[in-house]
Chains A and B, each alone.
Chain A
Amino acid sequence: MSISLTELWVILGCGAITVLSRVLPFAFVKSLNMPAWLISFLSFVPITIMTALCCESLFVAHAGHLATLNIANCLAAIPATLAGVLTKSLLMVVVVGIMAMAVLRYFSIG
């Protein structure tokens, strides 16, 4: 159990940065009336951000070259998506996804 001065500063500094990124927008939105274009822009944030977060684990980056697919993740994504279409349950998507990945790893695929 030890903590260096650098580590302490990193925790406090990064903590402040993160909390401000999260909290300041709430304070602004509360006190300002947002223009219509901004509300329209923000209505697309959920779908775009979630898509981008999915892509983050489906693609593998290669600096200076085109990205390739993360084969294991893409393969496990297929049964997970099917589970979503069939059950519309978040829990089923996660459980099926984990099981699919465990099977892929067991047979060393991807």
Chain B
Amino acid sequence: MSPSLTFRTGVRDVLPTVFGYIGVGLAFGIVAHTSHLSLLVVAGLSFVVYAGSAQFIITSMLLLHDPLSAIFISTFLVNSRMILMSTSLAQYFKHESLTRNLLIGTLVTDETFALAMNKQNKTNGKLSFAWQSAANVIAYLVWGLSTVVGAILGGLIADPTRFGFDFALTAMFIGLVYLQLISDKHLGMTLQLSVMAFVALAYYFLIGVMSQNFALLVATVAGCLFGMELKKCR
């Protein structure tokens, strides 16, 4: 990843993450197809809601005929981590106009957020509207198209997981967390490793007593507080 922040560099930087979107997007399309959602609903979920894991949950809740209110609450809970990510990311765009801030915010995802955090390690804490928009828009289009293609292929491919594509997303996060670990000079390796161990342990115990999405959120917040305290002690 080079320190350049142009639109073109944004396109190049986002390409490795595209595999994750294609793999999971196809999987979502296929799941949605087998859950009897029409192509229009799949496209609507991907292009309007645009929320990876939440889309899987919405699909299963639609299938179970859950009430609208329950679907809304679940979506909010699953996506509440977005509030944390957007608040973090927004600090890098304070100098941009409000409109540009809102545009960037509209298309932020786990992946483009993680990518941006890796990028700013290379650029002394700078990000640009052009770079972030390139990453956001490409991620958005690839996700939407993959889910639609998945829904069309749904009837044809019996088991897409056979080729290992479902692991693309996990692999991507492993790569991103590793790159974050070695390149965040501000926090340093030891502090980050301690925080990672704390989060993993917290998550491990929390998923026994609460839903996975809630555990993700609690472990994240607890990890941040743990990190703050640890930093003060050093």
Residues of chain A at the chain B interface (Cβ within 8 Å): 1-3, 6-15, 17-19, 21-30, 34, 37, 39-59, 61-67, 73, 76-77, 80-81, 84-85, 88-91, 93-106
Contact = CB atoms under 8 A, between A and B. Distances in A.
Given A27-B101, A30-B90, A49-B220, A61 B212 contact: yes
A67 B200 CA distance: 12
Given A29-B90, A47-B196, A93-B172, A63 B48 contact: no
B175 A80 contact: yes
Q: Considering the complex of A and B, which 10 residue pairs feature the smallest CB-CB distances, nearest first?
A: A97-B171, A101-B164, A93-B175, A48-B223, A102-B164, A29-B90, A25-B86, A101-B167, A26-B105, A91-B16
6 contacts: A7-B37, A17-B79, A48-B196, A49-B113, A56-B216, A80-B174
Contact of A50 (B89, B164, B180, B207): B180
Interface residues of B, number: 99
B106 interface: yes
Tell me if B's interface is mostly helix, strand, loop or mixed: helix
Interface of B: 15-17, 19-20, 23, 37-41, 44-45, 48-51, 54, 58, 62, 68, 71-72, 75-76, 79-91, 93-94, 98, 101-102, 104-108, 110, 113-114, 117, 161-182, 184, 186-187, 192, 195-196, 199-200, 203-205, 207-209, 212, 215-216, 219-220, 223-225, 227-228, 231
Contacts of A90: 16-17, 172, 175-176, 179
Tell me if A's interface is mostly helix, strand, loop or mixed: helix
B91 A11 contact: no
Contacts of A93: 171-172, 174-175, 178
B224 A50 contact: no
A18 B85 contact: no
A44 B85 CA distance: 11
Contacts of B174: 54, 77, 80-81, 84, 93, 97
- Residue with the highest number of chain B CB atoms closer than 10 Å, among A26, A43, A100: A26
Contacts of B170: 54, 57-58, 73, 76-77, 80, 97
B40 A94 contact: no
Given A6-B68, A11-B49, A56-B216, A1 B38 contact: yes
Contacts of B167: 73, 76, 97-98, 100-101
Given A21-B82, A22-B108, A90-B179, A44 B223 contact: yes
B40 A3 contact: yes
B208 A61 contact: yes
